[in-house]
A and B are shown apart, each in its own frame.
Chain A
Amino acid sequence: MARICAEGLRIEFPLYHFGARSMKKRLLGAASRRVRADAHNRVVVSALSDLSFTIESGERVALVGHNGAGKSTLLRTLAGIYEPVGGRLTVEGEIGSLIDPSAGMDILSTGRENIRLRALYRGLNAEQTAALEAEAGEFSGLGEFLDVPIHGYSAGMSIRLAFALATAVQPQILLMDEWFSAGDADFMAKAEARLEELVTASEILVIATHDMNVVKRWCNRVIRLEAGRIVGDEGTEGLV
């Protein structure tokens, strides 16, 4: 059973590579809520402060909030990329993240080489690699372009490959940053169907989004973030 449990989760970004001294004067002087000096007198931005929530299997959570509210940071924390400076986080279940589907692609390699590279990143064996190659090759509909360096792809083509690769594996916990809109109309329909399949089959969905239609259609819980804090955590019934 997949489960996510956070207690008092806190993430802080240290600001190292700027003139700390002058910035301190400017930012701290302005009675800022999120920029402050930590115990070592460094300037830090509190990206997330004191988040507590539990997400059980079957829940489809929308993270909503303004730009900079901490949605993407929270997704990355759930994916195990950022480690909290305070609090506790437990994530049980296999994680699939569609945060940046093109991460880890090599633009000078062909589509096929990129598929094999992704298989290595995922630690797949030879048989699974062949399966991924067949699956992603077919789904992306790139045909002969699979053997062309993705450097020479159109924007739509690279999105198609990235999408096919990112969605080829069914995770228990699906983390998404915004709902995809990929490629031409023809592919859009296919992509929508694939996403539906992925979302429905996953035990937990956490999606950061601005789009209320996505929230209404896919989610049954909304966590509202504001300046790195949870300001609302409710079902989707009340949404208009």
Chain B
Amino acid sequence: MSSLSTPRPNHYISVDAANPRHVERALADLRDGLSQWRLALALARLDLRNRYRGSVLGPFWMSLSSLVMLIGLGLLYGALFKFKLSDYLPHLAVSLIIWQWISGFIIDSCTTLTSAEGVIRQMRLPYTLHALRVAFRNALVAAHSLLLIPIVFLIFRQVPGPEAVLALFGVVLIAINMVAGGLLLGMVCARFRDIPPIVANVVQLAFFVSPILWKPELLGDGMVWMALNPFYALLETVRGPLLEGGGTWLAWLAAIFYTAVHVVLTGVLFTRFRSRIAFWV
């Protein structure tokens, strides 16, 4: 028994409602949460395993459904827009798979905190941990479809140049947005239970107004306005490097700007309301 009694992080609690030290404690939450990434990853893998328990294909059902969507939408919209299939399918593959990653995450992140209710009310854990868990979970799901991109590229002899490395920065930007989004949406949805259906509607709308089925060039001069759509900006940080020789600087600037706004907004709300979360879930 004695070998197990090591000091744990919760050795000292000091709360004073008159001097709540919101900033310090929010930062401590972030730091502790990130340092427990192993637990977050283990929980994410458990979620995935439990979700697909007893299923033969497991998470590869996601890859299969992406493949079917890719072929179906690719043939139909390729013909409707009169695109060359060798141009259109690589675009659709990248856009659709990154979009499925983002949209799946957004829907899932609404329950970041409410689904962890049992743990939140029984154990003292950093809230960042729950956001990390949702981010990992969705990254793992998305990783199963990722393979479709190189396959489509191979089939259509689409070889990205060295600037494709930039796509990694795009993925990092998306990942930062996901940790922030997990906390932000998780908090807002725990407090206001009407938000999840609104979020679902916004995500559906975003699918059509973002260049996933269509290509941004179709807008002609209106293309500059696309930067107003944060989803376009984020998609472009991956699609641009892989397909367009790097993506426009406007899209990159917009993506970085939106990420910064998102992180600051999350930081402010989390700092202010962190201590209330246990009462919301």
- A80 contacts which of B13, B16, B18, B50 (Cβ < 8 Å)? B13
Cβ of B11 under 8 Å from chain A: yes
Instruction: Please report the total number of B residues contacting A with Cβ < 8 Å.
Output: 42
How far, in whole Å, are A16 and B5 apart by their CA atoms in the complex? 40
Contacts of B8 in A (CB 8 A): 94, 122-123
**B residues whose Cβ falls under 8 Å from a Cβ of A:** 1-18, 36, 38-39, 42-43, 46, 49-50, 53, 118-125, 191, 193, 275-276, 278-280
- A83 contacts which of B10, B42, B53, B278 (Cβ < 8 Å)? B278
Instruction: Please report the total number of A residues contacting B with Cβ < 8 Å.
Output: 46
How far, in whole Å, are A108 and B49 apart by their CA atoms in the complex? 9
Contacts of A80 in B (CB 8 A): 10, 13, 124
Q: List 28 A-B contacts (CB under 8 A).
A: A14-B276, A14-B279, A80-B13, A81-B123, A86-B17, A87-B16, A88-B18, A90-B13, A92-B12, A94-B5, A95-B10, A95-B11, A95-B13, A99-B122, A100-B122, A103-B119, A103-B122, A104-B122, A106-B50, A120-B36, A120-B38, A120-B42, A122-B8, A123-B9, A123-B39, A124-B4, A135-B1, A170-B4
> How many pairs, one residue from A and one from B, have CB atoms within 8 Å of each other in the complex?
113
Min CB distance, B222 to chain A, in Å? 43
Contacts of B193 in A (CB 8 A): 17
Cβ of A84 under 8 Å from chain B: yes
How far, in whole Å, are A76 and B279 apart by their CA atoms in the complex? 12
B18 touches A108 (CB 8 A): no
A84 touches B191 (CB 8 A): no
What per-residue 1/0 map shows which CB atoms of A186-201 lie under 8 Å from chain B? Answer: 0000000000010000
- Excluding A82-B279, A108-B53, A124-B6, 16 further A-B contacts by CB distance (< 8 Å) are A17-B193, A81-B124, A83-B276, A86-B17, A87-B17, A88-B15, A88-B16, A88-B17, A91-B13, A95-B13, A106-B50, A108-B46, A108-B50, A135-B1, A170-B1, A197-B1
Cβ of A142 under 8 Å from chain B: no
Min CB distance, A174 to chain B, in Å? 12
A84 touches B17 (CB 8 A): yes
Cβ of A89 under 8 Å from chain B: yes
What per-residue 1/0 map shows which CB atoms of A57-85 lie under 8 Å from chain B? Answer: 00000000000000000001001111111
Min CB distance, B189 to chain A, in Å? 12
**A residues whose Cβ falls under 8 Å from a Cβ of B:** 10, 13-14, 16-17, 76, 79-95, 97, 99-100, 103-104, 106, 108-109, 117, 120-124, 128, 131-132, 135, 168-171, 197
How far, in whole Å, are A167 and B49 apart by their CA atoms in the complex? 28
B191 touches A16 (CB 8 A): yes
How far, in whole Å, are A123 and B42 apart by their CA atoms in the complex? 12
How far, in whole Å, are A190 and B138 apart by their CA atoms in the complex? 43
Q: Which residue of A lies closest to B119 (CB)?
A: A104
B122 touches A13 (CB 8 A): no
Contacts of B49 in A (CB 8 A): 108
Contacts of A197 in B (CB 8 A): 1
